[in-house]
Structure 1
Amino acid sequence: MASAAPTALTRLTDALRGDTVGGLILLAAAVLALVLANSPAAALYEGLRHFEIGPEALHLHLSIEAWAADGLLAIFFFIVGNELKQEFVHGELRNPRRAALPIVAAVCGMVVPAAAYVAVNAASPETLGGWGIPMATDIAFALAVLAVVGRGLPPALRTFLLTLAVVDDLGAVLVIAVFYTDAIAFAPLAGAAAGLALFAWLQRGTGPAAALRRSPLLSAAVYVPLAFAVWALVHASGVHATIAGVAMGLLMRTSVHEGEAHSPSHRMEHRMRPLSAGFALPVFAFLSAGVPMAGLGTALADPAAAGIVVGLVAGKFAGVLGGSWVTTRVTGAELHPDLGWADIAGLALLTGVGFTVSLLIADLSFAGAPATLEHAKAGVLIASLVAAALAGAVLGPRSARVRRAARAAAAPPAP
């Protein structure tokens, strides 16, 4: 019996499981946000972003923008953590000598931009507090740009960026917690840890937890409330709530038990990636990327904005590329054989796309200085656009050459 033709919905979800379509949708949503934020509809757009909804009793009466940045983005971070777990257990990152390189690159890519910002602002004590702004890479936008300009490049490059960006984001969250947060609520954090421990036990799929493998309905009835509870507790603790998504993704079981066609890790990635690419990330981009551009022309006169641009564009490049190169020379760490230093140079430029977390740290740094805050946000936008353009200029031609070589290799020999 012939199989039924795929429906339009099936074709759409299959397309969303690839990086390119999701990346284009994400970038289109960001462009739409920028257009609206700088149009006569700006007041309406801002009103939507700041409209608050949610239960006050659970401390979740948040703006729509916050729900997107803390809630919807957690879905994306779950997929990222889950994908990294697969790479560490079954993929290229099983090799510690290769796994070490993006981790060290991430650390260097945080320290050097912060130092560059401090150097630019050394004579301006009132703006020194923004040193954390250029440390963060926006993983969602960076992966989207790579998907669009880097089609055909080795998958190892995406894995390198994925690992680097997750370590970078974890480091940025730690910086926020230590230097930009008045207090961490440890009771909710302990509750989240207990929820994660339960999540990890359920992932074993043995004993009573085996019933969840046999019933998708029961599985959803247990995991969805548990995931929401862990997320809400992390949010209540004062730690950026997307960490809950990373943690649960890293705890997913990647092995296949008896009676299973696929591991829970692969099943969840298959189900949730279209939701992330087709809804969570575009909504997040639409609500986060709307930065007014009126002050772009004068922003760089402010040392805060200048330091951000230097940090994200030059500092990230020098830290990631230089840290990677030095690490391969002085340790046993090695570059994946499919990658060249031109690839890492393009990726290093791409890590200068620092949007969401950078804007968050800017808000925390300059909450009492509206003019400086506006310039800082403009600096983040300028730096991100410049970094994306430079990365495209390096990775785009390299991608085109790889695709041409692949087509030539696949072509039948001339008679």
Structure 2
Amino acid sequence: MVVGVPKEIKKDENRVALTPAGAAELVQAGHRVVVEQGAGAGSGMADEEYRAAGATLVPTHADVFAEADLIIKVKEPVEPEFNLFRPGQILFTYLHLAATEPVTRALLQRRVTGVAYETMQEPNGALPLLTPMSEVAGRMSVQVGAQFLEEIHGGRGVLLGGVPGVPPAEVVVLGAGTVGSNAARIALGMGAHVTIMDKRVDRLRYLEDVLTGNRITVVANQQTVDRAVRYADLVIGAVLVPGARAPRLVGEETVKGMKPGAVIVDVAVDQGGCIETVDHPTTHSDPVYVKHGVVHYAVANMPGAVPRTSTLALTNATLPYAVELARKGVRQAVAEDPVLAGGVNVIDGHVTHAAVAEAHDMEYVPLERVLAG
């Protein structure tokens, strides 16, 4: 199979979907790997390293799409890429289709098989390809939150950890999954007072056991979330429903009641956001806006700011599945691996993920029925 790795063209995205070591593994397995020139430069991975690994370097984005049977990316395709796809091509990447109807329709129209990293789920509920980037984003969320709490960046002028005689910042983490637990760990390490909120008491009980520092856990409901957010200096939105649009936990009236100069970091923005006033994603080059006196950080590709760490962490997780797709083809691979099957959001012009179909009022066709046909 020909495996293609294009350069990411989403604004401020410097990750790459395959390392030179990953390219070497695919080449050794008998596949041809086509990499766009400069694709790895943002992650500190030079063209020469890909050549040494046995990959073929091509000059343009279009060249990769023209040659490849399997396209491996980091982020969902953007409009200039839509017409580069061919029917039957496999796209393996983060798709977030429930929050991006134009991408969904483009993949359906071009009859692309879209395998989404974020909806691949193990029997125990773990999300193996979302977890590494959730870890990065959770840890980053506190770093950027601390930065924008500084007065020079429009914040309240509060030091996250305080100093002796002055209390620390109040940090509220909405969601106790991978993003939330990593955010809480970093905030506690910086000395903040952290409130972790989730509906799952068993998850809160677990974090009570494993996290140390100045923290409390609270069961999330409309009343408790409203009260905690209004008192917070920094709010981290860290909720996820795999494959579906993020639920809105914080309404506009609650944001209006927050402290002037408080900061919201909505990590869920790539699934539509969990804060009502996060009405559009931002970019690394223009990361924040102020609404109702509150600083909103809504960058949809947070790990792209630390591309080398993120690329290595991501490809550690994705490579085994990429090898599986390349060796078996998509139909055999998903028939034999239920985790990989869970990633198939669209195939042969059909939506095969129920949450995506519901988000866009489209027909849902179970993957088994498509494969049987």
Q: TM range, normalised to the smaller chain?
A: under 0.3
Q: TM-score, normalised by structure 1?
A: 0.25
Higher strand share: 2
The higher relative CO (CA closer than 8 Å, separation ≥ 6) is in: 1
Higher helix share: 1
Q: TM-score, normalised by structure 2?
A: 0.28
